[in-house]
Every structure is written in structure tokens, then in C-alpha cells.
């Protein structure tokens, strides 16, 4: 089984790549663990790359919101990049798309951290 979460560094930016389903009981928890591990390691700039996400449910969305709040409270910035249209739609209908910093591709997102 392929991993739901893979991480890599781009300078001082921790890039967290999500793959497949970010849904209740599996992908949602792995995503949270990946982001929390980055925060625990001291990351202040976190980019979540979602280009390979096929499905996200309300549990995955809730975990994403929780991670965003946790990151903000710890003085870190969490941004999203490369949302597939269906994933963008899920965040749009609940108006969360305006809460997150969302970028069309990783390059622009990395540059935005400054």
C-alpha cells in the first residue's frame, strides 16, 4: 500500500505531499500526524501539496482546519497548493477556501513564504 503522506524540504519549507483519500479513519489521521510531526520538529513554514488527493471528506476537512489552527497557534504558516478541482469544490462550498492560503502550484506557494 502506498503512503498517504510523504514529506520533503525546500529550504526552510516543509512540503507535505498528500496522496489518495483523505477520509475518516485513515488518510485524515495520517495527514494530521504528518503535519504535527513537522510542527514538533520546529517547522514554521508548511506547504501541503494536494495534487494527488482523490477524495477528501468532512473528517479530512476538519483535520485540515485543526492543523491550520494548531500551526497558527504555534507561530507557523500552513498553506495549500495544487488543489484538484473536486477538492477545491469541497473547500469552496463550506467557504473554507477563503480561510486557507491556496496556490495553484507548488512553485508559487514556495515563493509566497518569502
Partner 1 sequence: MIETAASTPIVLWLSSRYANIELADALLAQVCRDRGVTEEARHWISMALREALANAIKHGNRQDPEKRVLVTFGGDDGTLAIEVGDEGAGFEPEEIADPLAAENQMKTSGRGIFYMRTFMDEVAFTRGETGGTLLTLKKRLDTISKRKGAEAS
Q: Which residues bind partner 1 (CB under 8 A)?
A: 23-26, 55, 57-59, 61-63, 65-66, 68-69, 86, 90, 93-96, 99
One-character DSSP codes across 19-83: EEEE-TTTHHHHHHHHHHHHHHTT-SEEEEEEEEEEEE-HHHHHHHHHHHHHHHHTT-EEEEE--
Instruction: Indicate the residue among 40 and 95 with the shorter CB distance to partner 1.
Output: 95
Q: Report the nearest approach of partner 1 to the CB of residue 73 (Å).
A: 11
Instruction: Indicate the residue among 10 and 88 with the shorter CB distance to partner 1.
Output: 88
Q: Report the nearest approach of partner 1 to the CB of residue 11 (Å).
A: 29
Instruction: Indicate the residue among 4 and 110 with the shorter CB distance to partner 1.
Output: 4
Q: Report the nearest approach of partner 1 to the CB of residue 14 (Å).
A: 22
Eight-state DSSP code of residue 84? -
Quote the cell numbers at residue 102.
491556496
Amino acid at each position: 500500500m502506498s503512503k498517504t503522506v510523504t514529506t520533503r524540504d525546500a529550504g526552510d519549507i516543509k512540503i507535505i505531499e498528500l496522496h489518495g483519500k483523505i477520509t475518516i479513519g485513515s488518510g485524515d489521521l495520517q495527514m494530521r500526524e504528518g503535519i504535527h510531526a513537522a510542527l514538533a520538529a520546529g517547522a514554521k513554514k508548511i506547504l501541503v501539496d494536494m495534487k494527488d488527493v482523490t477524495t477528501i471528506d468532512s473528517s479530512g476537512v476538519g483535520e485540515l482546519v485543526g492543523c491550520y489552527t494548531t500551526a497558527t497557534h504555534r507561530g507557523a504558516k500552513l498553506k495549500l497548493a495544487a488543489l484538484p478541482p473536486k477538492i477545491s469544490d469541497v473547500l469552496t462550498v463550506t467557504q473554507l477556501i477563503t480561510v486557507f492560503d491556496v496556490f495553484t502550484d507548488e512553485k508559487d506557494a514556495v515563493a509566497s513564504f518569502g
